[in-house]
Structure 1
Amino acid sequence: MATEMGGEKRNTVETFFIVTLFVWLGSVCFQILFNKRSELVSVIAGSLFYQTSNSLVRFFFSTQKDPLFVNTSVSLLHSLVTSASVSFILFRELLTNGSSGMFDHSQLVENTWPWAFEALSFSCGYFAYDQWDMLRYRLYSGWIPSILVHHLVLLICFTLALYRNVTINYLILTLICELHSIFLHVRKVRRMAGFRNAKSTLVKIEWFLNWFTFFVARSAPHILITTKLIRDAHKFEKGVELPLALFGMAGMNLLNIGLGLDLFKACKRERKFQQRNIHDHRE
């Protein structure tokens, strides 16, 4: 089975992700138009914002039209916007109500911090845009691409939470990992721009921040959130919230392990490349 898109044949797996994306879009539009959920317009606004950003990057960087460069640049923008939004939401909540009770079960599951719904909606829109951009330009690898599975799981978790208006604060906490994503995307853009001097002070600082935020902003928060979910499992009402949350966090933790291994290999590879260049230069 295959379908035509952009003049190229699409296999069954790709078709599956395209269909699920359109089903998701139809579901969001149905909620907005027929269930009068006007607050979900921010999901569509998020998708349009990042798609427009994609077009602007292509326009202003006319000499660099590589789809991967454009996609990574927009991903960097998303990480910056989301990190700033999440930091603002958490800092505001801390100043307003203090740390006591901020991470209480009822606060994380039943309540929603100011601006948290909008921030989650906007980020949900980004993942839909990014899924489409990756499918359109085939910016993935593998028979069952982990990045497409990751985006699909996030879309399901985020959208169901927005529909039911529950666990919004939990999901905002998971987005702290975008602080680390900033340096992942910076590294990728830097390498695509041809700057690979591992001995450079800026590159060393970048690697330090990459590893620091990997542990502090990605691994540790996700482990703590998973632990919190398990400890508070008995406090959840019967329904899909707890299984979906545990499934989503299990997936994120597994992806973090894979990401950590990839970072370690990349770090070793860059050092070896630099050492080889120095050796060749001396000869």
Structure 2
Amino acid sequence: MRVAREEAMGGGKRNTVETFFLATLILWFASLCFQILLNKRWELLSVIAGSIFYQTSNCLIRFFSPHKDKDALFVNTSVSLLHSLLTSSSVIFILFRELLSNGPSGMSDHSQLVEDAWSWAFEALSFSCGYFAYDQWDMLHYRLYNGWIPSILVHHLVLLICFTLALYRNVTINYLILTLICELHSIFLHLRKVRRMAGIRDAKSILVKLEWFLNWVTFFVARSVPHVLITAKLIKDAYKFEKGMELPLALLGMAGMNLLNIGLGIDLLKAFKRERKSQQGNLHHHRE
């Protein structure tokens, strides 16, 4: 148990999986520095600012948390919750501002979605990209993943590749902002995890019922439906894309997101049934 605990907290020998994802993160950081310093892309400093901001948040939460460094998962989830709150708020602000300015038809124009960037969209995407780099490092450092091919590390790697390529080339920025509306649902995913780690598991509680209600509503409204619509829009406008990697990467990325959404929905349903079953078992035990 002690050895397992040390490995979970970052001790022990690094395995092949960890080495691979750490190497890709280092290569990503090297390419970012190359763009900033040699190509003078100073606007990309907001990516590094995002990483520093969330790493600082991690340190502050760890310092003030009663768990200290004994529960890296609690700290990581708390920072993820902060990211979801900030990102979803910024995305809603950007979309609402553009909706008032250009209307639905103007916002859905192909050239707007692919070639332009709405006000603050570049900065919001860069800051969120910095978060995924921080989170990848934190999960590798404390080994907050499972399996030989951890889906969370693969997910972060794919996002880093898609986000940074879009930022480097200044294309599909608005499309990626639209995909980030799913962070509204992630708020309730992280809240559920924090709530359970805090020991609040009463399925009959009004707060827990409200959390589950909002979890399901935002899963469909802010994650599943938007990603399906974005995929449909890409397919519909496929002929408008110039020859290159933009369309294949976009379609591949959305296919991956839709598959992840299906898996997430199945996991959520299992968790929901498990919590209700556990509560019913506790009630039956008390009656006896």
TM range, normalised to the smaller chain? Answer: over 0.9
Q: Deviation at 1:168? A: 0.1
Q: What does 1:141-152 align with in structure 2 at a 5 Å threshold?
A: 141-152=146-157
1:61 maps to: 65
Partner Cα distance (2:103, 2:259) in 1: 33
**Of residues 213, 219, 228 in structure 1, which corresponds to 2:218?**
213
2:51 maps to: 47
1:123 maps to: 128
1:26 maps to: 30
Partner Cα distance (1:99, 1:243) in 2: 26
Q: Deviation at 1:98? A: 1.9
**C-alpha deviations, 1:63-91, integer Å up to 9, x for none?**
35400000000000000000000000000
1:14 maps to: 18
Partner Cα distance (2:76, 2:40) in 1: 33
Amino acid at match of 2:181: I
Partner Cα distance (1:59, 1:162) in 2: 34
- Tell me the C-alpha RMSD between the 2 structures: 1.2
2:3 maps to: none
Contact 2:133 2:160 in 1 (8 A): yes
**C-alpha deviations, 1:141-188, integer Å up to 9, x for none?**
111000000000000000000000000000000000000000000000
2:139 maps to: 134
Partner Cα distance (2:133, 2:203) in 1: 35
2:175 maps to: 170
Partner Cα distance (1:7, 1:274) in 2: 37
The size of the alignment, in residue pairs, is: 280
1:94 maps to 2:110: no
1:224 maps to 2:225: no
Partner Cα distance (2:195, 2:66) in 1: 17
Return 5+ residue gaps in structure 1 as ranges: none
Return 5+ residue gaps in structure 2 as ranges: 1-6
1:272 maps to 2:264: no
**C-alpha deviations, 1:226-282, integer Å up to 9, x for none?**
010011111000011001101100110000000000000000000011011111111
Change (3 A) 1:192 1:6: closer
Partner Cα distance (2:11, 2:242) in 1: 49
Q: TM-score, normalised by structure 2?
A: 0.95
Q: Deviation at 1:60? A: 1.1
Q: Percent identity?
A: 82
**Of residues 244, 249, 252 in structure 2, which corresponds to 1:239?**
244
Amino acid at match of 2:31: S
